[in-house]
Amino acid sequence: MLKSPAPVFRGMDFAAVAETLSTLEETPSRLEMTEIVASLLKSSGRDLRTVVLFIRGRVFPPWDPREIGVAQKSMIKCVSTATGTPAKKVEETIAALGDTGLAAEALFTKKPQTTLTKKKMSLAEIHSSLEKMASWEGKGTQEKKGRHVIELLNSVSPNEVKYLVRLVLGEMRVGVGEGIMRDAIAKAFGVPAAEAERAFSLINDYSEVAEIARTKGEAGLKKIGILLFRPLRPMLAQTVHSVQEALDNGCRAWEYKYDGMRIQAHIKNGEVRVFTRRLDDVTHQFPDVAEAIKNTVTAKEAIIEGETVAVDESERPRPFQFLSRRIKRKYKIDEMVRDIPVITYLFDCMYLDGKNLTTQKMKGRRAALNKIVTEGNHVKFSRTLITNSADKAESFYKESLKLGHEGVMAKNLGAAYKPGSRVGYMYKLKPVTETLDLVIVAAEWGEGRRANWLGSYLLACRDPDTNEFLSIGRMATGAKDEQLQYLTDTLKPTIEFQKGKFVKLRPTLVVEAGYQEIQKSPTYESGYALRFPRLITIREDRAPEECDSLDRVASLHERFTAKK
């Protein structure tokens, strides 16, 4: 007797998830949002991982390099074709509503013969379709993806279209940040929020954290450890304004602060992969760094951390802008390696031959690093001084600046490594007024000689709870022609709509901005305004989620106010 085929897993309808996302958009309370997300997670069953990813506007986890590869212009064309609406009308609708998903929903609502008679698509079917799209390569791929997106859009209701469009573009906009997701997982599956956060900091995937919490509970989360070739979130530094302040906070280890790209190198049996602080795999762009680390590290398995710095012929550091040319380069890599040589300065070891070192003291981690690395021409240890003398630390700080570095890092020798945290174990000291890492969310086209460049940029900080980007000021100074060209080329593919000279952008690019002062202001969404913001540098190595928070802006404002 023939066996019946195994039933195909269907799971949740995408429509049900879309309804919950609509509810979240209309819910202002953080606690209520947490309740809504927790309820959805609890009822998700085998769809749990997909649900977590979709709520955060992702098809793949943060560590996964795969991309859907459908840009804003392509989506406008897809919506135009699927609804029979001229592309210009689609653009005008996006400009009027301020969001591509909302515009698509409105246009599909007006479309005759809606999806009422169509079969509902499951969450699993949507995820599988988008996964398949990400795997397509070669000639004709964009046209093929376009046809597939049109087919998907025509298969769901207008409300589902809104979230499907946002999902493909990677911007969900329902206000569920990492904090809400962490608390929702804790509530749904009865695990401590702190344990969920610890697990996330190590494996960078709340969908996996949620699944382990559901199936194995707190005990399962406690077993989560470091995974090779899965980048862990870097420990972040707070700011001090004097050597004495760092000493008062328990710091005795001083290191040069290099103006480069923070890297995390994973080594296993001769294979080396290099990740940035935003968790991007840049091994392809920096084969020289991977090769140099392979030749200088003796351990079979290790995760080490350092700063890769562009240097000139005399090994003097060059500005970060030189290095940024290499970060997203896909072609002519050999040419970049030759024209922009680098040195990697190592300073930490988080994993060694099967042992997680993040719980060990900084002194022990540095000792472990020293044992497994032999310095070479392109890999060196960070310049370090151990002292509790303010005078010696001050001299070391001045020495760093004289050599062209940014300042110093001050570290607590007795502290553990806290992935993803800005705890009081590590501080940075720089001579300039504190800058802010902010995301560009809109811009305006220039005039005259600069008519072909985006020349005025709306900057935003981040609300850590909702993950929303809140405007804080307009930056129109500090950029050279070369940088304006680079910013324009980088930001053009992220334009959501244009109205006159104004363009709304998807938040993808981080810049370091200087300013004269922070003032309270109702003009911007953050409630604050930067006075005379100027471009310091473009930070290709930082993710939008890593930009400075509203809390930090408020703290800096208080400090400015106190000085007056």
Catalytic residues: 257
d(CA 556, CA 488): 30
Pairing relation of β-strands 271-276 and 502-505?
unpaired
Residues 465 and 30: beta-carbon distance below 8 Å: yes
- Residue 286 to residues 139, 169, 232, 307, 542: CA-CA distances in angstroms? 27, 28, 19, 13, 17
228 three-state secondary structure? coil
Pairing relation of β-strands 238-239 and 469-475?
unpaired
DSSP letters, 437-485, are EEEEEEEEE--GGGTTSEEEEEEEEE-TTT--EEEEEEE-BS--HHHHH
Q: What are phi and psi of 234, to 5 degrees?
A: -70, 150
391 three-state secondary structure? helix
Round the CA-based radius of gyration of the chain to a whole number and report it: 25
d(CA 96, CA 267): 50
d(CA 155, CA 130): 14
For the chain, the maximum distance between any two Cα atoms, rounded to a whole number of angstroms, is 88
Burial of 43 (0-12, 13-18, 19+ CB in 10 A): middle
494 three-state secondary structure? helix
Beta bridge partners of 426: 411
Torsion angle of the four alpha carbons 263, 169, 207, 542, in this order, in degrees rounded to the nearest 10? 20
Region of residue 459 (left: phi > 0; alpha: psi -120 to 50; beta: else): beta
Residues 97 and 106: beta-carbon distance below 8 Å: yes
Identify which of 10, 58, 25, 16 has the alpha carbon closest to the alpha carbon of residue 207. Answer: 58
Q: Token pair 């106010």 is at which residue?
A: 561
Residues 90 and 80: beta-carbon distance below 8 Å: yes
CA end-to-end distance (rounded Å), the chain: 88
